[in-house]
Structure formats: C-alpha cells, structure tokens
Chain A
Amino acid sequence: MEQIVFGIGITALTGALATIAGSAEDTESNIGSQGDPNSQVQLAPQMGFVHRIFNKAVAGEPPAYGLWCALGAGLAWSFMAMQVNAVLAIVLGCVLAVFVQGVYATTAYLGRTASLAKFGQPVYVDVLKSMTSVTMAHAFIAIFCVVTLCHLINGALGHPFPLPLLGLIWGIALGAAGSATGNPYYGKERQYQNQKFGAGVPISASGNIVRYAEAGERNSLDNGWFTAKIGGSASGVCFGLIVFLEIWRTVLFEQVSAGWGAIVVGILMILVFTVIDRYIEVWARKNYGPYTEVKEASS
C-alpha cells in the first residue's frame, strides 16, 4: 500500500514537471522559430519579404530535444557517478546542455542568414544577442524538468533503463508532443496573422509572413508572449498528460491481473480520448459551419 502511495506521489510530481517542460519547450521553439514553421522564415526573404525573425534551423524539435535532454541526463549521470550530489549534478548537466543548445542556435541563425545573402537578408547581430539568452533560458527549464523526471522514474520508481537512455526517450517524446501541438498555432496564427482568422493559409500567400508589429518590427521575443496565450499551455497539458497517464496506469494497475489491468486501463483511456476528439470535431463542424454551401449531390 505504501509502495503505491509513494508511487502515486512521484507520478504526480513527474506529471507536473512534464507539464512545465512541455510549455517551456513550445515557448522556446517558437521564440527561436524552430521546426516546420521555420520553412516560412526561410522562404520569406526569397519572396522579397526581408525580416528580423530568428531563423533557428537546428533539425526539428524531436531530435533536437532528444539531444539536449539526453545530453543533460548523460552529464548528470556522469556527475552522479563521481559522487556529486544528485540535485547539483542535474543542474550542472542541464547548464552544460543548454550551453550546447545556445551555440547550435547561434550557428544555425548565422549559417542560414548568410546563405540568403543573395536576397538581401542581413544578419542582425542584435537579434542574435537578445534572442539567444532568452531561448537558452526557456530551454533550461524544459531540459531541467525532463532530466529531473527521468531521474525520478529511474531512481524512485525503478525503471530498468539508465538515466541517459530515459533522457533520450523522453526528450524525443517531448519534442514530438510539443511540436505537434504548438507548430500550427505559431505557423498559422502568428506568422500569418494578416490572413483571415478561421481558415488555413492559401498556398498563394506563402512567404508573406508578418514582419511589422505593434511597435516597430516583429521580433521573435514577442512570440514568447504569444505562445503563452494557448500554444504553450496546450503543449504543456499534452506532454503532461502523456507522462502522467503512462506512469499512473503502470504504477496503480500493473499488479492487477498480472499486467492485464494496466493494459485494460490504457485501452479505456485511448477510448476516452477518442470520444473527446470526436466531440471536438463535431462541435467545430456544427458551430463553425462549412466554408461553402454544401452542394446537393446527385446520389
């Protein structure tokens, strides 16, 4: 009984850490404009729309976050193997991982922008100076939360995988969840704010991203505030649910019916989310209505 209560407590903590990590990850990737929306930041100067957005082309979010989290976990593991206190080890590991992340971000911006010289896109050194520290700070929060939850899973809940491997797994999962949830919001709503709300961006408008803001020119720091409106929280909830439910169903139910309990609970959860998704889809169809009139089919 005590075992289960202890397990639930740790599970709740990992869920909270995962939620923060997801939110910070999405904010960081939007401040740096990483992942699929970055194709528009790359395309804009080629269509004549020079801008001051940070062009952080460091792979996509899943592999990049897989690396930062695995690196933070690996460094933390090494420090712990040298008998350094666990908390200090995790902090030091994450600081070094964030240093690597910052360097990659700067080289990506310099590289991509210098290669766009033909279209007159300048390298803005002040963008580099102001954005890098902000994106590093958000990344630190995300990496720290992930490495801590991996340490809890390995140390307190007894998962067989060693810390760096757990860091790799949850880093890639974090990137995938945050990227899936947050990318369309940033890509459609922020980059194409001048398009009509409530519809996708027509292909003819590609490259015509928003470059002027409320005061002066749009810069990537504003995207952090924008992400906090809903994208960041949605990504946080997404990753938090993933981690929490996965561990919760195992801790509580794995002893029930020799393992089948956890499976049944998992399937029930999938069905619940299917119902919720279907509800959202139908609600949208009913409330938003079609874009054009339904044509009377001849059949």
Chain B
Amino acid sequence: MTVKVEVIEGGIPHQKIMIAGLVSTLVCLYLTYLNVLTNTEMFAFFGGLAVVTALIWGSHTIKVLCSYGIGTGVPSAGMIAFGSGVIAMLYATKFGMAAPIVATILAAVIGFILGYVSNNILNMKIPAMVQALTEMAVVGALTLMGFAALMTGGFTFEGLTTSEVSMLGISISTTQNSFIGGALIAVAFLLGAIAIQHPFNATLGPGWKQDRMLMLTAECGFLSMIVAAFMSFALISMGAAIISLIVGIVGWAYTYNQYICLSKRDAAAWLDAKPIPDVEGH
C-alpha cells in the first residue's frame, strides 16, 4: 500500500473503515451475547475487542473532521462524541438483545441533529461535520456498550445495574456494586473519550501516516481493555476476568511494539543521547 506523504491524506478510504468498523463492532458485541446462551461469562472479552474496533473507526472519523481546522482542538470532538453516546447507550440497554442495533440508530439520530445544529445554527459550515458527528455519536455509544459488556458480561439494563454479592454464604443482589451503580460508566466514558482522540492528536503533523495512527488506536484500545479487565474483577467471575486481562495484555504488547517500529520507520532520526543537530541558520 503506497501512502502519499502529502498534507493529511492517503491510505484506506474512510468509507471502508467506517463500514468495517461498524460491522466488526456489532459482531463482537453480539458475540458477548454467547454469555447468555451458554450461561457463563467467559465471552466477556469480546466486549473489549468491540471497543478496539469501534475506536479504530472513531479515530479515523476524528481525523476526517479535524483536518478541516474546526478551531477548538481535537479533544473536544472526543468529548462531544461520548457525551452524546452515553445517553443513547443507556437508553438502548433497555431493549435486551436488540440493544446494539438500537444504540446505533439512536446515537446516529442524536449525532445527526447535533451535526445539523453545529453546522447551521452555530454556522460552522464544515462539509464533513454532520456525517462526522453522526459517526462519532455511534462510536461513542458502541464503545461504551463494549466496555459494559467487558466489565459485566452483557449489555442489558438489568446486568448493568445489579450484581450478585455473597454475604455470609447467601447470594444477594445489590445495586451499589454494579457498572452504573458504582459509576464505573464514568471511568469507561473518559477512557473512551481520551482513547478516541489521542491517536489523531498524537500523530498529527505533516508526516501523518494512516497505518501508524490506526496502530496507535488499536494500542489505546487494548490498553483501555487491560484496565477495564482489572475493574471487571469486581463484577464478573475470576476466570472470565483473567481471560479478558490476558487478551488485553497480549493485544497491547503486540500493538505497542508495532507502533514503536512504525514510529522508527517514520522518524527523521532515531537518536540516543545525541545533541541537537545543526539545521541551517539556527
């Protein structure tokens, strides 16, 4: 794949990434539903994989949007994506098995309206704004759903708001020790919001390359999966949490290593303890 080294262009077209991201995220989310069919929690790690694929899609959307110079900087795009996504996601969890699809549709509606508001009422008039905000709201909702599935084993409202706690040998259901009750959703919110905007924010510049940015997105996704797996120890069985943790660590180690190799490939020079080189005139 030849990548043009021009301003901020090149690589796989955005449409392809969007479709691939949407499909693989939904597939991974539904794979966690195997938990319900097999009555275990072992498939929770698919939630983490859903997070990774959704973030890859979302970071490319942010790149498309912010290339237009919106004037406020990249992190705010991540914030608005997740701010609108969390509301869609929470409502969608009431729909049982159809939750991911409902979340997608609802978030798309919210994102579309927010995009219309930004472009027309706030007069930003950026060509890609409406589509970008629509996509980002969907990414936000699906990423949060992925985190929920990773940490609790499912994406239904009951699963997110209650959990079993055993006291003196009797198992009772409690709301305080749950994904929503314990506000772990707030941690997932910020994990996703930073992870979605970091890849473009950290690789922007004249030497931007698509494969390096997407590899960084995967690395951020797996890193978030590691800490989310640690948090899931409190909510799902030890075995399932350990599987998520191992998948996260292996995925992170691989993508981090690849990212360093790609940075080495792209850097002007890879120096260790050398002085500032003499550039003419300075």
Chain A interface (Cβ < 8 Å from any Cβ of B): 42, 46, 48-52, 57-60, 63-64, 66-67, 70-71, 73-75, 77-79, 81-82, 96-97, 100, 103-104, 107-108, 110-126, 161-165, 167-168, 211, 216-217
B244 at the interface (CB under 8 A from A): no
Contact of A116 among B79, B205, B235, B273 (CB under 8 A): B205
Query: Once the chains bind, are B234 and A117 in contact (CB under 8 Å)?
Result: no
Query: Once the chains bind, are B282 and A48 in contact (CB under 8 Å)?
Result: yes
Q: Shortest Cβ distance from A136 into chain B, in angstroms?
A: 14
Query: Once the chains bind, are A58 and B183 in contact (CB under 8 Å)?
Result: no
Contact of A59 among B75, B212, B223 (CB under 8 A): B75
Q: Shortest Cβ distance from A285 into chain B, in angstroms?
A: 33
* Contact bitstring B215-252, A, C-beta under 8 A = 1, else 0: 01001100100010011111100000000000000000
| Cβ contacts under 8 Å, A46 to chain B | 206
Q: Which of A79, A81, A103, A216 has the most CB of B within 10 A?
A: A81
Q: Shortest Cβ distance from A120 into chain B, in angstroms?
A: 5
Q: Shortest Cβ distance from B90 into chain A, in angstroms?
A: 14
Distance of A58 Cα from B199 Cα, bound (Å): 9
15 examples of A-B residue contacts, CB within 8 angstroms: A57-B202, A58-B198, A58-B202, A63-B190, A64-B194, A67-B194, A71-B191, A74-B187, A78-B230, A96-B230, A107-B216, A111-B263, A122-B277, A125-B272, A164-B182
Specify the chain A residue showing the minimal Cβ separation from B224: A100
Specify the chain B residue showing the minimal Cβ separation from A118: B206
| Cβ contacts under 8 Å, B273 to chain A | 124, 126
List of 10 A-B pairs having minimum Cβ-Cβ separation, nearest first? A115-B205, A122-B269, A74-B187, A111-B202, A165-B183, A117-B268, A78-B234, A115-B207, A81-B234, A111-B203
Given contacts A123-B271, A124-B272, contact A67 B186 (CB under 8 A): no
Given contacts A108-B198, A164-B184, contact A125 B227 (CB under 8 A): no
Query: Once the chains bind, are B271 and A125 in contact (CB under 8 Å)?
Result: yes
B256 at the interface (CB under 8 A from A): yes
| Cβ contacts under 8 Å, B234 to chain A | 77-79, 81-82
Query: Once the chains bind, are B205 and A42 in contact (CB under 8 Å)?
Result: yes
Query: Once the chains bind, are B233 and A78 in contact (CB under 8 Å)?
Result: yes
Chain B interface (Cβ < 8 Å from any Cβ of A): 73-75, 78-79, 176-177, 181-184, 186-187, 189-191, 193-194, 197-199, 201-209, 212-213, 216, 219-220, 223, 227, 230-235, 256, 259-260, 262-264, 266-277, 279-282
| Cβ contacts under 8 Å, B176 to chain A | 162
Query: Once the chains bind, are A49 and B282 in contact (CB under 8 Å)?
Result: yes
Query: Once the chains bind, are B207 and A118 in contact (CB under 8 Å)?
Result: yes
| Cβ contacts under 8 Å, B269 to chain A | 120, 122-123
Distance of A219 Cα from B205 Cα, bound (Å): 22
| Cβ contacts under 8 Å, B263 to chain A | 110-111, 113-114, 123
Query: Once the chains bind, are A122 and B190 in contact (CB under 8 Å)?
Result: no
Query: Once the chains bind, are B212 and A111 in contact (CB under 8 Å)?
Result: yes
| Cβ contacts under 8 Å, B270 to chain A | 122-123, 125
Q: Shortest Cβ distance from B280 into chain A, in angstroms?
A: 8
| Cβ contacts under 8 Å, A161 to chain B | 183
Specify the chain B residue showing the minimal Cβ separation from A81: B234
| Cβ contacts under 8 Å, B202 to chain A | 57-58, 107-108, 111-112
Query: Once the chains bind, are A71 and B227 in contact (CB under 8 Å)?
Result: yes
Query: Once the chains bind, are B190 and A66 in contact (CB under 8 Å)?
Result: yes
Query: Once the chains bind, are A74 and B79 in contact (CB under 8 Å)?
Result: no
Query: Once the chains bind, are A114 and B190 in contact (CB under 8 Å)?
Result: no
Specify the chain B residue showing the minimal Cβ separation from A79: B234
Query: Once the chains bind, are B205 and A124 in contact (CB under 8 Å)?
Result: no
| Cβ contacts under 8 Å, A163 to chain B | 182-183
| Cβ contacts under 8 Å, A164 to chain B | 182-184, 186-187
Specify the chain A residue showing the minimal Cβ separation from B187: A74
Specify the chain B residue showing the minimal Cβ separation from A42: B205
Q: Shortest Cβ distance from B95 into chain A, in angstroms?
A: 25
Query: Once the chains bind, are B271 and A124 in contact (CB under 8 Å)?
Result: yes
Q: Shortest Cβ distance from A263 into chain B, in angstroms?
A: 27
Contact of A48 among B191, B194, B279 (CB under 8 A): B279
| Cβ contacts under 8 Å, A49 to chain B | 282
Q: Which of B75, B189, B212, B276 has the most CB of A within 10 A?
A: B276
| Cβ contacts under 8 Å, B182 to chain A | 77, 81, 162-164
Query: Once the chains bind, are B268 and A74 in contact (CB under 8 Å)?
Result: no
Distance of A133 Cα from B177 Cα, bound (Å): 34
Query: Once the chains bind, are A63 and B177 in contact (CB under 8 Å)?
Result: no
Distance of A161 Cα from B207 Cα, bound (Å): 44
| Cβ contacts under 8 Å, B205 to chain A | 42, 112, 115-116
Q: Shortest Cβ distance from A68 into chain B, in angstroms?
A: 9
Given A78-B233, A111-B212, A126-B272, output 7 extra A-B contacts at Cβ < 8 Å: A78-B234, A79-B234, A104-B223, A125-B272, A162-B181, A168-B183, A217-B276
| Cβ contacts under 8 Å, B203 to chain A | 111-112, 114-115
